[in-house]
Amino acid sequence: MEQAMSDSWKLTLPCTLAEAQALNGEVPALAMLVSPPVLMTSEDEPDNPDAWRLDAYFEVEPDDEAIAIIRRLVPSAGRKKPRIERLDEQDWLTMSQSGLEPVHAGRFYVHTSTHAGTAPSGTRAFLIEAGLAFGTGQHETTTGCLLTLDALKQRGAVFRDMLDLGTGTGLLAFAAMHLWPHAYATASDIDPIAIDVTRENAALNGIRIGNREGRLALAVAPGMSHRLLRHRAPYDLIIANILAGPLIEMAAPIAGALEEGGTLILAGLLDSQAERVANAYRRQGLRLADRIDRGDWPTLRLVKRRGK
């Protein structure tokens, strides 16, 4: 991925330790932005353990909408005016990646180029750079999905036709393909940038693109409305790490694309939203089989009942 060198910007606001911890990794609210920033948090006052700082790195000068979204992430800043500065001749992407620690989830190890060569023995390493798409592996929702996939493999599950809906960086599709290398695999996203990023990440991680078994087919699509997605249905595995609202709205088409007995993995929702999301899919003939909780972020595993 090409890195911005001179037209980058940094927005800085104070925050609390709790707010900094909540921003550790991917932040769903940033998906609303055309050019989402990379976030970094750090201690601001060594003698005050609750005084932290949020730095948001943008490829373009942040507009009013972007500033408002960042402000909502740190309500403790109140009406304090953010400091916005242009970064001259700085490789902001590499700098920001230095703060992203690798994620070890089951048999998967997700890292940026800063931590290349650090994968523990016996893990499948994926190089996913921080950048323009949601899904670097840092957020608890992505980690929960990786752990759920790993647990399914340990139980002996076998899948033949898989869909990663709202793929972001392609990571979850890559992980599923590693576990079930002979399956047909599809990844889609409403954002064409995400599909471009997925294609680049596939090349970096040895994932073959194409429509054949063992290759990843890509589609820019809102929800299930794409000829490729409809043609490949029904799926025996669908992964949707999106947000609670869209998951509820798309319950009928997602459930309709899942074969009887098929597995659905849902993430991107808060613990307070889990029951509403699960109920939306129960009404479509699915049952909640399992869940993994990572902080306030649950990952739900549902199974479609037979005869529905």
| Helical pair 171-179 and 140-154, crossing angle rounded to 10 deg | 10
Residue 206 φ then ψ, to 5°: 70, 25
Contacts of 289 (CB under 8 A, 6+ apart): 263, 301, 302, 303
Q: Is 142 labeled as ligand-binding? A: yes
Quick check: helix, strand or coil at residue 201?
helix
Walk across the sheet containing 297-304 and list its strands: 216-220, 184-189, 161-165, 235-241, 258-267, 297-304, 286-294
| Helical pair 171-179 and 192-204, crossing angle rounded to 10 deg | 40
Q: Is 256 labeled as ligand-binding? A: no
Whole-angstrom distance, CA of residue 168 vs CA of residue 192? 10
Residues in the chain: 308
Q: What residue has token string 């459930």?
A: 255
Q: Is 293 labeled as ligand-binding? A: no
CA distances, 61 to each of 1, 41, 109, 123, 308 (Å): 20, 20, 33, 39, 51
Q: Identify any residues that bridge with 55 across adjacent strands, giving them in sequence order.
A: 12, 40
Q: Is 241 labeled as ligand-binding? A: yes
Binding-site members for S-adenosyl-L-methionine are: 142, 166, 189, 241
Binding residues: 142, 166, 189, 241
